[in-house]
Amino acid sequence: MTRSSCSVALRQISCSNAAVHTPAARMIDGTVVFSSRRVLGPISLEIKEGEHWAVLGPNGSGKTTLLSVLGAQRHPTSGIVEVLGERLGSVDLRVLRRRIGVVGHSVSDALPYHASALDIVLTGAMSLLAPWWGNFDDDDKRRARALLEQLHCGHVAHQAFGQCSQGERQRVLIARSLFGKHAMLLLDEPAAGVDLPGREALVGVLDALSVVTDPMTTVHVAHTLEELPRSITHALLLREGRIVGSGNAQSVLTDECLSTCFGLDVHVDVLDGRFSARATGSW
């Protein structure tokens, strides 16, 4: 298969099982334009319930913009976008956002750093940005503490969120999403700034979430393959706002497709279900 044929073939793979599950998200020719400059699209994509997607591409390829659309943070400039059965443009985004969990710097930076990790988890109930905006009883607090324990963060329950390590904050945010019983979890570079032990702890948590009853659909924007958990089922490759590969992870995360996406020769290894990549030759 030539590089030029990679995108077409992979999109065919992505569409071949279109009737298997109800879509968690669907885009038809979705486009986002900023100041007369197209930063995303037009792209068409379907994410089914319970799938775990990785999104990769060079800086400026539209990954964060895509996540903001899927997270109901912005409308597309044109095209059709449906998230959790609701069409953007005909639904109150504030209500839809309560069904979507987000882990990343945008949420972390918006939460009060002086609040305890336990209080941060409690804000997931209604996707609040401050714990004092909600009313929580003892059962709520017990459930929040149990989630922190499950995510190996029980020791920071009463520690200020801002004093937690980067890896601990990301796991606290995942607990926050689980507390809110969100239908979809969006991860915006959750391993950014996290050391090796923190990254591996995060990967372990994401793998564990994939085997629980009624697992959330996840969309994981990543800079590198190494930070992806084994549970990734599908992958989307973006370059200059357009899809260059989409479908089953094993078929997309290949030497050929990643080389096309990043514009350099890439070699991919898979060990014990985990992907890794390195550049080959000069660039």
Six token digits for residue 167:
């890896």
> According to the model, what pLDDT value does residue 104 have?
77
Q: 5-9, 104-108, 259-263 — which one is most confidently predicted on average?
A: 259-263
Asked if 277 and 271 touch (Cβ cutoff 8 Å), the reply is no
Question: Which token pair is 22?
Answer: 């109800």
Out of 101-110, 160-169, 171-180, 218-227, the most confident range is: 218-227
Instruction: Give me the residue spans of the domains in the chain.
Output: 1-95+185-191+232-283
Give me the percent of the chain exceeding a pLDDT of 90. Answer: 43
| pLDDT of res. 125 | 73
- Percent of the chain past pLDDT 70, that is, above it, reads 87
Homologous superfamily assigned to 1-95+185-191+232-283:
P-loop containing nucleotide triphosphate hydrolases (3.40.50.300)
> Across the strands, what pairs with 256?
none
Neighbours of 265 (CB within 10 A): 15
Average pLDDT, the chain: 84
User: pLDDT tens for residues 209-257?
Assistant: 777 656 789 999 998 999 999 999 999 999 999 999 999 999 999 999 9
Residue 17: the pLDDT is: 41
CA-CA distance, 222 to 226, in Å (whole number)?
9
CA distance 173 to 153: 11
Task: Report the pLDDT value the prediction gives residue 11, as an integer from 0 to 100.
Answer: 41
pLDDT over 90 at 10, yes or no:
no
**What gap in Å lies between CA 65 and CA 39, rounded to an integer?**
8
Q: Which two tokens stand for residue 271?
A: 């060990």
Q: Is the pLDDT of residue 167 over 70?
A: yes
Give the global pTM: 0.81
